[in-house]
Amino acid sequence: MKKLIRLQVNGEAHELAVNPDETLLQVLRGQLDLIGPKKGCDSGGCGCCTVELDGKAIYACMKYAASADGGEITTAEGLSQDGELHVIQQAFVDAGAVQCGYCTCGMMMAARQLVDTVENPGEDEIRQAISGNLCRCTGYVNIVKAVQHAAATTDRDGE
């Protein structure tokens, strides 16, 4: 029996009918056409499905949508505001941290909290933040640089 749930996704309110074991990943991609979160392993091992739920990075592939009723979700699509790239998106572009791009959305969502809260994270700290995200292209080097740069250039005075 489908369940009716309410989700706030990238600032927009939605009322959705979901199957009892439908995951957030299925709902975001299948019902809301948000393709930032991707289906890689579908079992919480690769990280390319990473989104934020109530401000915390989670694997959308293993979160039952019905359990997220009332939650606020941010996907990679929700990072840019008014047509301007988020500092973390710009940093990934500038650092050459994107090759095939499949891991990129998940990487940014996993690192976003660190970027927002720590001005000069060390390499170990960054690698810890993205330890749940696999990249098969880049070797992570430029991803780490992108996160460092994003953290350093985040406007903290304006908050």
Partner 1 sequence: MSLPNISDYHVPDNAEDAIALLKQYGDSAMIVAGGTFVHGLEVRGVLGDIEALIDIGRLGLDGIEFGADGLRLGATAVFAQLEAHAAIGDDPAFGAIVDALACPPTQIRNTGTVAGCLAASAPLYDLPAALLALDGAAEVLGDSGRRTIPLCDFFTGLFENALQPHEIITSISLPKLPPGTVSAFLKLETNANDLAIINVAVRFTLDGDACRDCRIIVGGGVGETYVRAAGAEAALEGAPAGDAGFEAAAAAVTNDIDPVTDHRGSREYRRHIAGIYTRRALDNALARFG
**Site residues for partner 1 per CB under 8 A:** 1, 3, 20-21, 23, 42-45, 47, 50, 53, 56-59, 61-64, 66-67, 69, 110, 113, 128-133
Indicate the pairing of strand 72-74 with strand 3-9.
parallel
Q: How far is the CB of 57 from partner 1 (least distance, A)?
A: 5
Residue in the structure block whose two tokens are 């927009």: 12
Q: How far is the CB of 145 from partner 1 (least distance, A)?
A: 19
By beta-carbon proximity to partner 1, the closer residue of 110 and 150 is: 110
* Three-point CA angle 85, 154, 146, nearest 5°: 70
By beta-carbon proximity to partner 1, the closer residue of 68 and 87 is: 68
By beta-carbon proximity to partner 1, the closer residue of 42 and 116 is: 42
Q: CB under 8 Å to 20, separation ≥6 — which residues?
A: 1, 2, 3, 64, 66
Strands across the sheet containing 12-18: 12-18, 3-9, 72-74, 50-53, 56-59
Q: How far is the CB of 7 from partner 1 (least distance, A)?
A: 14
Query: Do 55 and 113 touch, CB atoms closer than 8 A?
Result: yes
By beta-carbon proximity to partner 1, the closer residue of 33 and 124 is: 124
Q: How far is the CB of 118 from partner 1 (least distance, A)?
A: 13
